[in-house]
Amino acid sequence: MRLVAGGCSCTAHSWPTWAHYLSLHYDDYVNTGHGGADNQTIARNVIDTAQAGDVVVVQWTGFDRFNTFKDDSSKDFRYYKKLNAQLLMVEQCGMDRKRPTGRWVYSGSIAPNREFLKQFYHPVERFRNTLDAVRSVVMHSQLVGYKLYNFTMTNWFLGETETTVDPRLVKMHEREQFPHFYLDSNCLKVRDESGYTDPIVYDRATGWVDKHPQPYPQWLWLKDHIAPELGLEIDTSIEQQVKLDQQKLLDGGKFNE
């Protein structure tokens, strides 16, 4: 059985994520996640990948993300041959894999873009677009014939820029009645409760600080939340490798994933 994982950088990152540890329970595995992706991108990548008989687990990101497209023929795309999500996104925009003429700009949260926030942003509009993205994947799963499970990176009704829940968003979500949509917790909440919250200085040359959930919180998120929803009996022997991955990260080691 094949696992297809969808999401943003909490799904596909520089170190193992929940998707990697979950994939150890399946015969085959495709990760369509991409750092900074918005929910429309996540939906497109899943729809372009999922097939009948797959198990598809999506970790939706903050609804207030907004990705843009830029004409750019100078970008060296040879690196992206290793990244399934990048190849998908090149083809989705009518470009040749060998000669792409543009690229998506994934800035993650739109919070720093004050001009955009003042002129265009409203949580109802962003959340409506996100619900449309989820709906498209739900309908695709029913049409094609694969099992779909939905989880969230952060509080589903707060996104990344909001501080109070707009009750309209709750009503909009309830109206959809999505199957297998888990809202009891989220990945960042598990990170914050895990004790592994100190930022990682992952690039010592630039001093770039990484606050993404580390391997052990990712494991907790999988073990305590995702696996029970899937009805999956988790292989607890994997935890030893998780602890090694966690220590490797703290020691400054690099990962291929």
pLDDT given at position 79: 43
> Can you say how many angstroms the Cα of residue 95 is from the centroid of all Cα atoms in its chain?
24
Distance CA 100, CA 74 (A): 9
What are the residue boundaries of the structural domains of the chain, listed by start?
2-67+106-250
Distance CA 29, CA 59 (A): 16
- What is the token pair recorded at 197? 């919250």
Yes or no: say if 241 and 219 are a contact pair by the CB < 8 Å rule: no
Q: Which residues of 127-143 are buried (b: 16+ CB within 10 A; e: fewer)?
A: bebbbebbeebbebbee
Q: How far apart are the first and last CA of the chain?
A: 21
Among 147, 157, 174, which Cα is nearest to 58's? 147
pLDDT tens for the 257 residues of the chain, in order: 999 999 999 999 989 999 999 999 999 999 999 888 999 999 999 999 999 999 999 999 999 988 777 787 665 554 444 456 666 667 776 777 777 777 766 666 776 777 777 788 899 999 999 999 999 999 999 999 999 999 999 999 998 778 899 999 999 999 999 999 999 999 999 999 999 999 887 666 666 788 999 999 999 999 999 999 999 999 999 999 999 999 999 988 888 65
Among 5, 14, 8, which Cα is nearest to 201's? 14
Any idea of the CA torsion for 35, 41, 42, 48, to the nearest 10 degrees?
-120
The predicted model scores a pTM of 0.89
Yes or no: say if 173 and 131 are a contact pair by the CB < 8 Å rule: yes
User: For the chain, where are the alpha helices, taking DSSP H only?
Assistant: 18-23, 39-47, 84-92, 114-119, 123-144, 167-176, 187-194, 215-221, 227-230, 238-250
- Cα–Cα–Cα angle for 209, 198, 207, rounded to 5 degrees: 20
**Which CATH fold would you assign to the domain 2-67+106-250?**
Rossmann fold (3.40.50)
The answer for residues whose C-beta is within 8 angstroms of residue 144's C-beta and 6 or more apart is 50, 51, 52
pLDDT given at position 101: 74
pLDDT given at position 95: 74
